[in-house]
Amino acid sequence: MLLQNGYSSGATHVGRTLLHHAILCGSVGAVETLLASGAECEAAVRTSRSGRFRPVHLAARLGQPEILQTLMDKGCDVNARAEAGDVAVILAARHKQEDCVRVLVSAGADVALLNLAGESAASVASSGGWKAGFERAVLGAIRSGTIPLSSDRHVFSPMMFTARCGDAAALEVLLAQPGVDVDEQDADGCSPIMAAAKEGNVDAFRVLVFAGANVRLCNKRGETAIGLAQQSKKRDLFEQVMLDFALEKGMPAGGFYALHCASRRGDSAAVHHLASTGYDVNIPDGDGYTPLMLAAREGHAAVCELLISHGARCDIQTLRGETALSLARSALATAAFNKAEDVIMDELGRQLVLAGAHVVKHTKGGRGRPHGKSLRMVAAAGVLRWGGSSRRNVMCVEAEVGGSSAFQRRRQRKGRRGDDAYAPGLFRVVTATGKEVHFVCQGGEEAAELWVRGIRALTRAVFGKRGN
């Protein structure tokens, strides 16, 4: 009505135009009418000292998203400066106007601009206790398809911001843009995947891993995404992401030992898949541990068996002298039912009896004079051999450490020096014909146990668990 009666849209009252008063009243219709009638969308409020406070600043501060959108549609400068160098998005953040921040970001507000105090919209929101609201606004804009404008990636990086927030859906929007750098680094050398790991954002971490992010990239403190993930309380979840990647893509993410991880976790299915697709079962990780060592340390007997079936060696040592067997034994202190030691001892015994060794053989059930023999097992035939004749190639139905009671009585009656009835390294076998044969190996009782385990294991493999 005022306009119809000749009132100018540019006329002022106490330094404000009709457009300013319409914004102060929150009247969207009046704003639209005034702009349609030629009102200047950049008209400054004349009561301010600098004359730089514009309608866009007023609407952002007061929380008028619809009016803001109307001003954007009319082509107002979304990055115009107000007093103290504030831009509209900084004012919206300071006054906690979530919808206004979303409209401004979607309209192309430069989120990296700083005011005269060196503050950005993000830092103003954080210092004002409104970090979560600012994040919701910006992430909402990203999820709707807007890539926030940033003139300085060190002040505001959409990728770093979204990774720190942990919004996987928003990350996927950003990663779909042409020319995106998944490994961009901030002033500290931190990359998006490092940020996701540091903040414990597993879903964002997954998106970045599958997008090809470099998990071995170092920041200025020498940290990597892998290292940060391993230090996290969510370590198991991060490892599962890396393991899923290795299983799905058929290759490990750099710096991540997939087979070691699966072995330590006791994931038999993953171990079988990885070992079957060419992963080296004997390669050490950064600490010198092989997959078998880690499985043994955690007491995963089934995984130990699986790794051994794929060629894992039990005799590898770390620089600290640790072996799969020593780690399995150390685990017994906390897990009394750890069967990994048995699995490894069986394999060590199998390797020992296949290779063979020089032993002392007792004759005539302990009545005769002991003499040296070369003893080994023939795997294919399942026989224990210490010579060429059939009497020296026997199938065993029993193997035990130590001597039988009859053998001990005979040796004691012989009065042998050193009491060899109980000699360290003594073990015996019973053949399929019922004959009992005693041997003494080098290495004491543990070596004798390996001989017994190896004979039993190979006999079972050929003739079944009963050894018949």
pLDDT per position as a tens digit, 54-74: 999 999 999 999 999 999 999
What is the model's pLDDT at position 429? 94
**Assigned domain for 173 exists:** no
CATH code (residue 438) = 2.30.29.30
**Assigned domain for 468 exists:** no
What is the model's pLDDT at position 466? 44
User: What is the SS3 assignment for the chain?
Assistant: CCCCCCCCCCCEECCEEHHHHHHHHCCHHHHHHHHHCCCCCCCCCCCCCCCCCCHHHHHHHHCCHHHHHHHHHCCCCCCCCCHHHCCHHHHHHHCCCHHHHHHHHHCCCECCCCCCCCCCHHHHHHHCCCHHHHHHHHHHHHHCCCCCECCCCCCCCHHHHHHHHCCHHHHHHHHCCCCCCCCCCCCCCCCHHHHHHHHCCHHHHHHHHHCCCCCCCCCCCCCCHHHHHHHCCCHHHHHHHHHHHHHHHCCCCCCCCHHHHHHHHCCHHHHHHHHHCCCCCCCCCCCCCCHHHHHHHCCCHHHHHHHHHCCCCCCCCCCCCCCHHHHHHHHCCCCCCCCHHHHHHHHHHHHHHHHCEEEEECCHHHCCCCEEEEEEEECCCCEEECCCCHHHEECEEEEEECCCHHHHHHHHHHCCCCCHHHCCCEEEEEECCCCEEEEECCCHHHHHHHHHHHHHHHHHHHHCCCCC
Q: Are residues 231 and 377 in the same domain?
A: no
For the chain, the average pLDDT equals 88
What is the model's pLDDT at position 38? 78
The predicted-structure confidence for 254-269, as pLDDT tens digits, reads as follows 668 899 999 999 999 9
Q: Are residues 142 and 52 in the same domain?
A: yes
**Assigned domain for 95 exists:** yes
What is the model's pLDDT at position 352? 95
Domains: count for the chain: 4
**Assigned domain for 400 exists:** yes
**Assigned domain for 164 exists:** no
What is the model's pLDDT at position 194? 97
**Assigned domain for 34 exists:** yes
Q: How far is CA 220 from CA 217, 255, 391, 398, 413, in A?
A: 10, 18, 72, 63, 77
Cβ-contact 113, 153 below 8 angstroms: no
Is-above-0.85 flag for pTM? no
Which residue stretches of the chain have pLDDT < 50? Answer: 2-3, 5, 13, 418, 465-468
Residue ending a domain, choose from 279, 313, 346 = 346
Q: Are residues 293 and 333 in the same domain?
A: yes
CATH code (residue 264) = 1.25.40.20
- How far apart are alpha carbons 86 and 50 in whole angstroms? 13
Q: Are residues 412 and 424 in the same domain?
A: yes
**16: containing domain:** 1-156
- How far apart are alpha carbons 13 and 20 in whole angstroms? 10
